[in-house]
Structure 1
Amino acid sequence: MTIETDNLRISFGDKEVVKGVSFKVAHGASFGIVGESGSGKSTVLRAMAGLNNDWSGRIAFSGEDAPLKRPPAFFRKVQMVFQDPYGSLHPRQTIDRILSELPLVHGMNDIDARIARVLSAVALPQSARFRFPHQLSGGQRQRVAIARALIAEPQVLLLDEPTSALDVSVQAEILNLLADLRVEQNLTYVMVSHNLSVISHLCSRVGVMIDGHMVEQVTVEDLRLGNVQHPHTRELRNLSVELEEPV
């Protein structure tokens, strides 16, 4: 599924926080949006996910314009993984219940088989199904969050800083898992992060945001070589310890 935003604008009251952002993502590709806190990057993602209806401009998936209020079928095609793997999972529900919720809402069949498949896809033991979120590690909880997004068999994953709440050693595991899943399931990704190294690990193209503007779009290879134009892109690059090879 291709993605396109054109002149996307989002305001909270009188304050415009996203100011004419435009970008395209090819089917099966991965596009990263990097910027500091308050740059507007997560606000863009939430509008794409249908979690914020207060926007103007154009958001399109596979050439079809997304309405402000998304129909239920949209959420089978486009799913979001959030930053905090604990806060995004209901603490009093078992993993089985958490993973069952979306298939039940959409009237999907073979729920048991679907749960078994997604647990296997994210490298969690089947026994995790009957545990509560607090009984899992942070990395395991984020794997559950990814499994919940995958159970509807979507075509797009929107990733809102999916590793920032995790230990550095676990971050790499989750990024490698996401990279493998994109290839195996032919998914299209848009990921936001304040960390350019994390974005570079997973994405082949990057949009740089500051104060609601996307000031530059560049390939990760050009980032690595220092072939950038905007001073903020250069600053973010200099702050990154290393830029990973994209996967």
Structure 2
Amino acid sequence: MSMIEIENLNIWFGEGVDRVDAVRDAAFSVARGESFGLVGESGSGKSTILRAITGLAPTWSGTIRVEGEPLQGHRRSRAFYKRVQMVFQDPYASLHPRQSVDQVLSETLHLQGMKDINKRVEKLLQDVGLGNRFRFRYPHQLSGGQRQRVAIARALAGEPDILLLDEPTSALDVSVQAEILNLLTDLREEHKLTYVMVSHDLPVVAHMCDRLAVMQQGEIVEVMTQDDLRQLRARHPYTRTLLDASISHHDAG
């Protein structure tokens, strides 16, 4: 069964002469347990699609189905947020500076109606490779990578089926990026999760995703498999440009 199905999706901001069409006629589906990537330059509409799924983009038309259920407008039920969680790009902005790790996770577990909160906080910290010694620290006492681990633990608190990952490593040092990507790969396997991951970084997506959609100026121009990407089998000229840029960047590094 498809966990996410998107058909004829249009997302826009503003009205009349001020209207900006951020996404035009997007369509893709994501199977249960799959990791699906959305790739493109900044402003291509990839994060906007995640925002429409989670109800953060108010004006859209078309079809968005999550586990077979069609979504409407921008209101999402509590049951939806139990199944679908998002990990944002910036771990500095997504954690409350005056809440300890324990408060962040305990509050989330409480809101999700979970029991045995104490035990679950310990398990979440263990799952993301932090352990109990980080439990009573505050965000300013953590590195960027540690903060992102806390953000991932918070997303896992309600035992969701789907994680939406919005550039989850782009704000981190290169040395830490690989650790977080490997953690996400392990968690997907361990918790049988489905991922939709937004990135402008092709090597990251090649590492993480089974398939990917390439976006240019609000449109999906090509859907590729991981194998296509690794064999550099791109049909669309824009995808070839992205691949060439990624290869020359890699060679230069």
TM-score by length of 1: 0.95
* Unmatched runs of 5 consecutive residues or more in structure 2: 249-253
2:251 aligned partner: none
Mapping 1:23-62, distance limit 5 Å: 23-62=28-67
Instruction: Tell me, yes or no, if the aligned pair for 2:122 and 2:131 is still in contact at 8 Å.
Output: no
CA deviations 1:106-150 (Å, max 9, x no partner) are: 332111111111100000020111000010111100000000000
| Structure 1 residues without counterparts, runs of 5 or longer | 243-247
**2-side partners of 1:67 and 1:120: how far apart?**
37
Question: Partner of 2:10: helix, strand, or coil?
Answer: strand
1:152 corresponds in structure 2 to 158
- Cα shift readout 1:10-30 (whole Å, capped 9, x = no counterpart): 100111110011001100000
SS in 2 for 1:7: strand
State the distance in 2 between where 1:67 and 1:187 align: 24
SS of the equivalent of 1:42 reads helix
Identity across aligned pairs (percent)?
59
Q: Please tell me the residue identity of whatever aligns with 1:33.
A: L
Q: How much does 1:232 deviate?
A: 0.7
Letter in 1 for 2:10: R
2:206, 2:230 within 8 Å by CA — same for their partners in 1?
no
Indicate which of 61, 67, 70 corresponds to 1:65.
70
* C-alpha contact 2:162 2:195 (8 A) present in aligned 1: yes
Q: What are the equivalent positions in structure 2 for 1:1-247 lying under 5 Å apart?
A: 2-13=3-14, 14-68=19-73, 69-241=75-247
Higher fraction of helix: 2
Letter in 2 for 1:40: G
Alpha-carbon offset, residue 224 of structure 1: 1.5
Find the aligned partners of 1:46 and 1:10 in 2 and give their Cα distance. Answer: 10
Deviation at 1:86, TM superposition (A): 0.9
Which has the larger displacement, 213-222 or 47-56? 47-56
Aligned length: 243
| TM superposition shift of 1:53 | 2.8
Contact persistence 1:197–1:241 (CA under 8 A): no
Give the distance between the partners of 1:107 and 1:221, measured in 2 at CA: 41
Equivalent position amino acid for 2:138 in 1: F
AA aligned opposite 2:58:
N
Deviation at 1:82, TM superposition (A): 0.3
Runs of 4+ aligned structure 1 residues displaced above 4 Å come to none
What's the TM-score, normalizing by structure 2?
Answer: 0.93
Per-residue deviation at 1:241?
3.5
Instruction: For 1:93, give the aligned amino acid.
Output: Q
Say if 1:32 and 1:203, in contact at 8 Å, map to a contact too. Answer: yes
